[in-house]
Structure 1
């Protein structure tokens, strides 16, 4: 293969990879064990609590390799994940606003690690979320992880 064909192939591969959106899921109703390999015989890394958002990186049969908010990667069974979307606060204190406006009243301030349900998954300058207490509002994408 010539160098120019190799470079062209690499560019096409990278371009097609960038077209795919990230796939996020949520740990289902029960906490799950995350493994270092796609098997229950693999080493147990940690337990992911119910509701934790994860990014699906790779699927392998009935297993998926996932990334958490801290960037750690592990394997879990695909059936243990839910299509429901949650996000987690990654900033020290995220302001949840009544409307999608920087000057809107703050309805809640959330500490790092607080989970929200994703109400509207459309990307934009604001993300609509719901807290488990029923509070609905808008946060900046930079303050959360999982979108």
Structure 2
């Protein structure tokens, strides 16, 4: 291994990986193509939508929506309950964080679920449906955590 390659590898390992940050909308709000209410509106983000934070300023946040679109949203529109969106075609929410646990309910792609806590060490997320049903699903089946 060359010295240059080894040094590059060491520098890569020395810097921590940046964790993605997600925030959910507290209310329906427009998404803009620039950080200004005078900019063009590109979409409306519904209440509870998880958005990936790309840039965070005092008043505006540049976000990526579940479809991959980059846009700006007023920071005041964020701050609702932490939610995730089911990205699998269908997901099974279970009573315990195990693949053989009893089924609580089934969730289809696009369903918003409230996060009810942190993921367990094996990649299961505790979630709650708007109707109150709660359980666990694999973290890789959702977007926004």
What TM-score do the two structures reach when normalised by structure 2?
Answer: 0.86
C-alpha contact (below 8 Å) 1:38/1:60 kept by paired residues: no
Secondary structure at 2:140's aligned position in 1?
A: helix
Q: When the two structures are aligned, how many residues end up with a matched partner?
A: 138
Asked if 1:85 is matched to 2:85, the reply is no
Distance in 2 (CA, whole Å) between partners of 1:17 and 1:40 is 36
1:108 Cα deviation from its structure 2 partner: 0.5
Runs of 4+ in 1 over 2 A off after TM superposition: 11-17, 121-124
Secondary structure at 1:22's aligned position in 2?
A: coil
Aligned to 1:58: 55
Aligned to 2:29: 32
What TM-score do the two structures reach when normalised by structure 1?
Answer: 0.85
Distance in 2 (CA, whole Å) between partners of 1:76 and 1:119 is 25
- Structure 2 gaps of 5+ residues are none
- Structure 1 gaps of 5+ residues are none
Secondary structure at 1:120's aligned position in 2?
A: coil
Q: CA RMSD in A?
A: 2.1
1:53 Cα deviation from its structure 2 partner: 0.7
